[in-house]
Copies of this chain bind each other. A is one copy, B any other.
Amino acid sequence: MAAPVSTAASAPAAVPVVPGAVGRWFAEVGERTYTRTRRIPLDALEGWHTDARTGDLVHDGGGFFSVGGLDVTAPDGPVPHWAQPVLHQPETGILGLLVKDFGGVPHYLMQAKPEPGNAGGLQLAPTVQATRSNFTRAHGGLAVPYLRHFRNPPPRALIADVRQSEQGAWFYRKRNRNMIVRTTEDVAVLPGHRWMTLPQIHALLTAGDVVNMDARSVLACLPPPPGPAGRARHTGREILCWLTEVRSRPGLRTRPVPLRGLPGWHRAEHAIRHDGGRFFEVVAVEVRAGGREVRRWTQPMLRPCGTGVIAFLHTRIDGVPHVLVHAAAEPGGVDAAELTATVCCTPENYAGLPVAARPRFLDEVRDAPPDRVLFDALLSEEGGRFHHALNRYRIVAADGAGAYEAAGDFRWVTERQICALLRHSHYVTVQARTLLTCLRSLHGPEASR
């Protein structure tokens, strides 16, 4: 691992100032491609309705997504039972990244994309971000640019094609296909698109909230850098067997329930809120867009009530870099626990809970002295569904490998071991995928493919 590119926290910029050529490009694109978002009352949603029987928020055409309720039982947790709203989006969409070599250097076709939930407007997105309704054109509409590269690509052109989960605290069993396709064809670069190298993308991870969640997720599915693996603390088989043991315990039990009358939540004019003001709200927005096919629409969004802390503890074991993963289940997970960040929480949500419920290692990553902070950036989650969902992503040097694994369901693993699991679904959360991409940004340009 090379020297960290940044040890200072980025300013929580409402509008990120993107440096250099990419910044100038963003400024140009932003003049014609933008979204302006305004909160509106829930009853002012157009094209959406509140289901008469369940109170769920659903689209009139039955597509896109819906907001329902979820009843959760967690026999072994500090909170043994709760209910919460949850987003349902059963279709599997495509997050597609096109890669092509120029002068022997791989370049990735990135898109400057605005989303209504973004605090700062444009973000850097993968080549294609499309729901199944988008790309099968179930609702009519224009063809998705570059989509043809991701429909039935020749098997040998596929660098990655794997369904991965997204926020299991907010979505019910959501996943998207993360696809990376290599091309040797001539590709026309449409307005709002740009070929970029991995070091260029990596450099933007700490330049404000620029690289969007989908790009971070799909970049994490790149194969590991070439070179010797180094001896890991545990073998791959041991990690799998450990995860089997964790997943075989009685875990969360969930049951979709009506949104109306959800215990502990209430619907006000502008939001569905937790009675204690915690966790998140379901809000409604009106969006006016430039540079998109649809110029104006309204939609529900999920707005988190606090800023999360998502961090890997990092150390070297016999000279080999390791990060500390946590096996944890989320209510919307497809299949029990996945491996997530060492710390992955919104600290405000733990107010009022006993000290034993407090996330392990939160203080260590939040209060780390600057010389231990290898990576630090305020990044947001998917701006198409989440409104200003900011999380502080950190990689923090641990104090040796010590007793960390004794804290419960934690294990030291190497980057290469996470990569091996990312060939399969439902092993690595979207938050851990973001951190893996951040971790790789520390390697320096020589490790880029």
- Residue numbers of A with Cβ under 8 A of B are 90-92, 132, 152, 155-156, 158, 161-163, 177, 234-235, 237-238, 240-242, 244-245, 247-250, 253, 334-335, 423-426
Residues A240 and B424 in contact in the complex (CB < 8 Å), given A161-B245, A250-B91 = yes
Interface contact A244-B426, CB-CB below 8 Å: no
**From B155, B234, B240, B247, contact of A241 by CB (8 A):** B155
Query: Which B residues touch A241, using CB under 8 A?
Result: 155, 158, 161-162
Question: Judging by beta carbons under 8 Å apart, are B335 and A425 in contact?
Answer: yes
- How many copies the complex holds: the figure is 2
Give Cα A158 to B132, complex, Å.
Answer: 41
- Complex Cα distance A90/B247, Å? 12
Which of B90, B245, B335 is close to A334, meaning CB atoms less than 8 Å apart? B335
CB neighbours (8 Å) of A250 from chain B are: 90-91, 132
Residue of B nearest to A245 (CB): B161
Contacts of A237 in B (CB 8 A): 158, 423
Contacts of A247 in B (CB 8 A): 92, 163, 425
Which residues does chain B contribute within 8 Å of A177, judged by CB atoms?
Answer: 244, 248
- In angstroms, Cα B246 to Cα A177, docked, is 11
User: Considering the chains assembled together, what is the distance between the CA atoms of A91 and B253 in angstroms?
Assistant: 11
With A90-B253, A335-B334, A424-B424 as known contacts, state yes or no: A244 contacts B163, CB within 8 Å. Answer: yes
Q: Hey, which chain B residues are within 8 Å of A334, CB to CB?
A: 334-335
Residues of B within 8 Å of A158, CB to CB, are 237-238, 241
29 A/B residue pairs, CB under 8 Å, sorted by A: A90-B250, A90-B253, A91-B250, A132-B248, A132-B250, A152-B245, A155-B234, A155-B235, A155-B238, A155-B241, A155-B242, A161-B240, A161-B241, A161-B244, A161-B245, A162-B241, A162-B244, A163-B247, A163-B248, A177-B244, A177-B248, A237-B423, A240-B424, A244-B425, A247-B425, A334-B334, A335-B335, A335-B426, A424-B424
User: How long is the Cα–Cα vector from A161 to B244 in the complex, in angstroms?
Assistant: 7
B423-A240 in contact (CB<8A): yes
Contacts A158-B237, A237-B423 known; 6 new A-B pairs at CB < 8 A: A90-B250, A92-B247, A158-B241, A161-B240, A163-B247, A334-B335
Inter-chain contact A248/B92, CB cutoff 8 Å: yes
> Shortest CB–CB separation between residue A141 and chain B, in angstroms?
19
Instruction: Give the distance in Å from the alpha carbon of A190 to the alpha carbon of B203 in the complex.
Output: 65
Residue of B nearest to A253 (CB): B90
Q: Chain B contacts of A90 at CB under 8 A?
A: 250, 253
* A423 and chain B: residue at smallest CB distance: B240
Once bound together, how far apart are the Cα atoms of A335 and B158, in whole Å?
23
Instruction: Find chain B residues with CB under 8 A from A235 CB.
Output: 155
